[in-house]
């Protein structure tokens, strides 16, 4: 959420920032709502002062025996009391209207975010590995002979509908091993704290990280009001919702492996084959919560952490900085990491590493208390995939495929597979 004081002080800068999001003239609307709120608050305070003054004068009139004045003042007190109650309710309504308006506005992007209309104008900032040259035409993951028995889309559709899958045998074991490998790397090498969090959350948690109120159609809501998380960003970041933490407790760095749920609204016709885009999937999420002055270095750190996973698995990738037209609603800057998929002959996103600045913290009212004293300050929050497990499975299968349809598995993964190194044609590990 935005700081209304900042908008008041420099509405032109706010409008320029929102223009990069394709929005115009918002400062007038925000400031009008703010002025209405402040006017109601001022009116309520004035009425309260008048009520207090009249209350004092009632006793004096009674003492003088001025019955007429006493009755007039008593009626005035009652009138002002009613006016104060009405104005306070109106002020609350104006305050809620302003908050709703601000909640619906995207974050201000950093100045170094490149200008661009869409993903075609993202800027590559790093590349690692050389895509393997095959002496045969590489296939997509779902076409591989060793995979077809262990990746059952028919069963997923029977159980749940389109964009669900049942993993079995060796494929399921590789998927599980990938998640375990990611978690172990983040905890043991990157120093993150492992967490196990719910996948059902209250509505205010989705508001806190920016999924609501604007993007409710992208997630699933249960009949009793809980929301299924689209990513553990929601649960991990909201650990500090409503809290004021000690500076000595920062930074907080978490990793969690969870099921994730997305409706994929607006993606009809995209990636309908295979398991690249599913309604239910697994992800290892990273979240950092820290002081504002540390967030810039943390974004680079988290990007490197995600890249380390791909390098350990020997998967070629590139990292791009998202342009203004491709940026997420709540973020100030995002690095996308795209892994090479030989079956598609292209790089595809496998991780987004983003910094929100204090935007989410303001929505959550999450602050820290400076160790040297002084007023509590809003925290900064960052999040990133470390990585999307299903997409990593796809990359391992496609990059490791052999001409006979088997898949050679990365060395780093083999300790999690009982030393096995090959997905065989019958879907088992050898």
Residues marked as catalytic: 262, 277, 349, 352, 391
Does the annotation list 263 as a binding residue?
yes
Residue 137 CB coordination number (10 Å): 9
Angle at 414 between CA 409 and CA 420, to 5 degrees: 80
List of residues 6+ apart from 325 with CB closer than 8 A: 22, 116, 117, 118, 119, 121
| Contact between 289 and 379 (Cβ < 8 Å) | yes
Does the annotation list 377 as a binding residue?
no
Does the annotation list 248 as a binding residue?
no
Say which residue the tokens 């100045």 belong to.
111
Maximum alpha-carbon separation in the chain? 109
Sheet holding 377-378, edge to edge: 244-246, 367-369, 377-378
Q: Which of 380, 429, 427, 349 minimizes the C-alpha distance to 151?
A: 427
What radius of gyration do the chain's Cα atoms show? 28
Does the annotation list 231 as a binding residue?
yes
Does the annotation list 264 as a binding residue?
yes
Give the ranges where 104-132 is alpha helix by DSSP (H): none
Token pair of 244 as six digits:
């004021």
Does the annotation list 385 as a binding residue?
yes
Number of alpha carbons in the 13 Å side-chain half-sphere of residue 300: 5
Nearest-angstrom CA–CA distance, 276 and 272: 8
Does the annotation list 350 as a binding residue?
yes
Say which residue the tokens 């599913």 belong to.
278
Does the annotation list 262 as a binding residue?
yes
367 — phi, psi (to 5°)? -135, 170
- What residues are designated binding site for ATP? 262-264, 349-352
- What residues are designated binding site? 231-233, 262-264, 285, 349-352, 383, 385
- What residues are designated binding site for L-serine? 231-233, 262, 285, 383, 385
């Amino acid at each position: 959420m935005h700081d209304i004081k900042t908008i008041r002080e420099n509405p032109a800068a706010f409008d320029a920032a929102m223009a990069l999001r394709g929005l115009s003239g918002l400062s007038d609307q925000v400031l009008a709502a703010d002025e209405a709120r402040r006017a109601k608050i001022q009116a309520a305070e004035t009425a309260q002062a008048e009520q207090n003054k009249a209350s004092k004068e009632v006793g004096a009139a009674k003492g003088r025996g001025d019955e007429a004045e006493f009755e007039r003042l008593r009626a005035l007190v009652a009138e002002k009391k009613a006016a104060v109650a009405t104005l306070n309710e109106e002020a609350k309504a104006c305050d809620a209207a302003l908050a709703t308006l601000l909640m619906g506005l995207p974050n201000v992007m950093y100045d170094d975010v490149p200008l661009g209309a869409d993903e075609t104008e993202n800027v590559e900032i790093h590349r690692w590995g050389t895509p393997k040259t095959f002496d045969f035409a590489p296939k997509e993951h779902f076409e591989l002979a060793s995979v077809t028995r262990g990746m059952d889309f028919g069963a997923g559709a029977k159980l749940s509908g389109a964009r669900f899958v049942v993993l079995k045998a060796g494929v399921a074991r590789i998927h599980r091993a990938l998640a375990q490998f990611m978690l172990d790397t983040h905890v043991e090498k990157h120093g993150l704290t492992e967490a196990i969090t719910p996948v059902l959350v209250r509505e205010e948690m989705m508001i806190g990280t920016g999924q609501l109120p604007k993007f409710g159609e992208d997630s699933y809501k249960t009949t009793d009001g809980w929301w299924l998380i689209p990513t553990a960003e929601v649960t991990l970041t909201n650990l500090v919702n409503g809290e004021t933490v000690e500076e000595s407790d920062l930074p907080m760095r978490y990793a969690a492996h969870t099921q994730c749920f997305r409706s994929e609204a607006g993606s009809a016709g995209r990636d309908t084959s295979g398991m690249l885009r599913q309604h239910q999937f697994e992800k290892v999420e990273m979240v950092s919560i820290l002081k504002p002055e540390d967030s810039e270095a943390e974004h680079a750190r988290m990007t490197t952490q995600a890249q380390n996973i791909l390098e350990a698995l020997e998967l070629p990738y590139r990292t791009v900085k998202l342009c203004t037209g491709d940026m997420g609603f709540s973020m100030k800057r995002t690095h996308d990491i795209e892994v090479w998929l030989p079956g598609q002959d292209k790089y595809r996103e496998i991780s987004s590493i983003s910094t929100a600045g204090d935007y989410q913290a303001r929505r959550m009212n999450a602050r820290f208390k400076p160790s040297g004293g002084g007023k509590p300050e809003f925290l900064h929050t960052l999040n990133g995939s470390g990585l999307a497990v299903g997409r990593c499975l796809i990359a391992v299968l496609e990059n490791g495929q052999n001409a006979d349809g088997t898949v050679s598995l990365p060395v780093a993964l083999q300790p999690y597979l009982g030393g096995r190194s090959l997905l065989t044609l019958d879907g088992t590990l050898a």
